Amino acid sequence: MIRVKQLIVGIFLFNAALAVGSPIGKDTIPAELKFSNFERNLDSLMNIWYVQESVGDDTLQMVDADTTILFPQIPDSFYINRLRKIPSFIELTYNDIVKSYIQVYTVKKRDKLEVMLGLKEYYFPIFEQILDSYQLPEELKYLAVIESALNPRAQSRVGATGMWQFMYGTGKLYNLNVNTYIDERRDPIAATHAAARCLKDLYRIYDDWILVIAAYNCGPGNVNKAIRRSGGKKNYWDIYYYLPRETRGYVPAFIAATYAINFYKDHNLSPKFIDVPQVSDTIMINQTVHFQQIASVLNMPIQQIRDYNPQYKLDIIPGQWGTYPLRLPANYTTRFIEYEDSIYAYKDESFNIAQLRLGNPASKGSYSSVPVPGNRQRINYVVRSGDNLGAIALKYNVSINSLREWNNIHKNMIRAGQRLVVYVPRTGGNHSGNSEQPALAANISKSSSPESPKTTASAELEQEEFIYYKVKSGDTLWEIANQYPGVSDKDLIKWNNLSSNGKVVPGQKIKIKKSN
């Protein structure tokens, strides 16, 4: 009986498509069959903390496909006139395929569309501001709806990730940081900047926004191939059947999403209230910290921190390698600043923070903990500029292979500022496990200072005198450096372990070495 009703629905849509008289009428594959990624992302969207807190599962009753035919049918002239009323720089064509996607949003997925309508109040202002800064059409924000259902953790079968569904290589091409700890493809702000740059590059190629949207989905190579196969035609609907099947539905889905979000009231839809604080703030972090430390001290759900900061894959902000953003509701940012020292110190050992700072994950969410070898004691060594594993091994009378094993190092790659675990032979002295120890081997370099055997690299850094500058709106590192004689922007990058692009944000504290 169910199959019979679904067949009736299919026949109904087929007849409706013929009535439109569109040249695309022969593509009558049900839209939902080509929308698998969208459905999967919708399901995942429901697991986001602030969605779960705002919308109970009992309020999300899916409309069964069998009942589709019971909804009143809207004449095509209504759809056409409504699309014309949307102030869009991008042409919004109407045909039977667009109509079928409109029905996916407004009928089959109507309850979940209401969740997206609630989320857009939080995300769309972010998208609009960034798109405007690149002088791009504002309506490109609807791409995030069809790409990910506004789900920052969305992931396709082939690995496209985030709201804008970047593949690994494309994300790297547009300067999105992807490593063991971080995936900026899941950061709504960073990924939107990357998407804007990508869309702008595609427009330089095609000078046509509909072709740009198609190329964003399947790549310029497939679009160029479709243009060649069509005999050089450059209208999307002329090359429609030469495009990959998924892309054939992509542009109609974009037009349908634009329609549905602008005219949801006409379909008796209303946005779900999603309790995402509209006012949030960003704190720049330059120490390693676990989300659970923040959650415990600030007394907030860890899942809330995760959903505000989806780019951190392991609940860790790896501040030892640079300055990274932590986004929190505004009322929690002041508390974070007030209790910052307590947060970093909170159950440090419980979360293996000392080991995490080595940056060598053994598996997702856990890090290797090498037991102390017999007759040895553990110390931490801070790598200095010019150091290599051979010199460190010689200094402490251990093997290079042991250093690699203790620190999960592959090959010989180490960097200045990195902390290494070294298990040195026990001596009668009272050694501190948190500082670098004096040389223990008989053949240690004579240049080591015998007058200060307990001097450590970390202690030396702490003894250096610095002043602090609070970044103001509009400041750049170059402008800040010019205020201090003998200081360059490169010095500021080095002293503060900043990324090479030298970006700073208002409120960030910059460390500046005092002149002698």
pTM, to two decimals: 0.61
The mean per-residue pLDDT over the stretch 350-357 comes to: 57
Whether the per-residue pLDDT at 196 is higher than 70: the answer is yes
Higher pLDDT, 176 or 494: 176
pLDDT of residue 289: 92
Judge if 162 and 310 occupy the same domain. Answer: no
- Percent of the chain beyond pLDDT 70? 70
State how far the alpha carbon of 187 is from the alpha carbons of 200, 312, 365, 372, in Å. Answer: 20, 9, 20, 39
The residues, any chain, with a CB within 8 Å of residue 185's CB and separated by 6 or more, are: 161, 162, 164, 166, 171, 176, 178, 191, 194, 311
Lowest mean pLDDT among 32-36, 88-92, 116-120, 224-228: 32-36
Higher pLDDT, 344 or 348: 344
Tally: H helices and E strands in the chain: 22, 10
Higher pLDDT, 103 or 365: 103
| Residue 487 located in a structural domain | yes
Judge if 224 and 80 occupy the same domain. Answer: yes
Whether the per-residue pLDDT at 408 is higher than 90: the answer is no
Judge if 439 and 486 occupy the same domain. Answer: no
The mean per-residue pLDDT over the stretch 259-274 comes to: 91
Whether the per-residue pLDDT at 363 is higher than 60: the answer is no
| Residue 55 located in a structural domain | no
- Give first-to-last CA distance, the chain, whole Å: 87
pLDDT of residue 242: 94
pLDDT tens for each residue of 499-514: 666 677 777 888 888 7
Judge if 254 and 172 occupy the same domain. Answer: yes
The mean per-residue pLDDT over the stretch 187-206 comes to: 94
| Residue 22 located in a structural domain | no
The mean per-residue pLDDT over the stretch 472-485 comes to: 77
Judge if 307 and 203 occupy the same domain. Answer: no
pLDDT of residue 378: 78
Which domain covers residue 312, as residue numbers? 280-362
For residues 493 and 510, give the distance between their C-alpha atoms in angstroms, rounded to a whole number: 9
Q: Which strand (E) or helix (H) includes residue 469?
A: strand 466-470
- Confidence band (pLDDT; 50, 70, 90) for 427? low
Judge if 82 and 228 occupy the same domain. Answer: yes
pLDDT of residue 40: 61
Whether the per-residue pLDDT at 2 is higher than 50: the answer is no
Most confident of the following: 261-265, 392-396, 424-428:
261-265
Please identify, among 267, 291, 320, the residue that sits at the C-terminal boundary of a domain.
267
Judge if 121 and 100 occupy the same domain. Answer: yes
pLDDT of residue 156: 82
pLDDT tens for each residue of 121-144: 889 999 999 999 999 999 999 999
pLDDT of residue 84: 93
Please report how the helices 220-229 and 188-206 are oriented relative to each other, as an axis angle in degrees rounded to 10.
30
Higher pLDDT, 198 or 32: 198
State how far the alpha carbon of 35 is from the alpha carbons of 101, 160, 247, in Å. Answer: 9, 15, 11
Q: What domain count does the chain have?
A: 4
Reported as half-sphere exposure (CB side, CA atoms, 13 A), residue 515 has a value of 7
Judge if 106 and 202 occupy the same domain. Answer: yes
pLDDT of residue 127: 95
pLDDT of residue 163: 92
Whether the per-residue pLDDT at 450 is higher than 50: the answer is no
Please identify, among 455, 478, 500, the residue that sits at the C-terminal boundary of a domain.
455
Whether the per-residue pLDDT at 461 is higher than 50: the answer is no
Please identify, among 343, 362, 381, the residue that sits at the C-terminal boundary of a domain.
362
Judge if 307 and 424 occupy the same domain. Answer: no
pLDDT of residue 24: 38
H-helix segments, 89-187: 96-103, 110-133, 143-148, 168-173
- Confidence band (pLDDT; 50, 70, 90) for 449? very low
Whether the per-residue pLDDT at 430 is higher than 90: the answer is no
Residue with tokens 């990924």: 191
Whether the per-residue pLDDT at 239 is higher than 90: the answer is yes
| Residue 260 located in a structural domain | yes
CATH number of the CATH domain containing 380:
3.10.350.10
| Residue 52 located in a structural domain | no
Judge if 409 and 488 occupy the same domain. Answer: no
Residue 513, SS3 per DSSP: strand
The mean per-residue pLDDT over the stretch 208-229 comes to: 94
The mean per-residue pLDDT over the stretch 380-394 comes to: 81
Judge if 293 and 431 occupy the same domain. Answer: no
The mean per-residue pLDDT over the stretch 384-411 comes to: 77
Nearest one of 105, 183, 110 to 146, comparing CA atoms: 105
Whether the per-residue pLDDT at 371 is higher than 70: the answer is no
pLDDT of residue 20: 34
Judge if 389 and 473 occupy the same domain. Answer: no
| Residue 46 located in a structural domain | no
| CA angle in degrees (0–180, nearest 5) for 250-117-39 | 45
Here the tokens at position 348 are 């440090």
pLDDT of residue 44: 60
Tell me if 491 sits within 8 A of 484, measured CB to CB: no
| Residue 67 located in a structural domain | no
| Residue 129 located in a structural domain | yes
CATH number of the CATH domain containing 106:
1.10.530.10
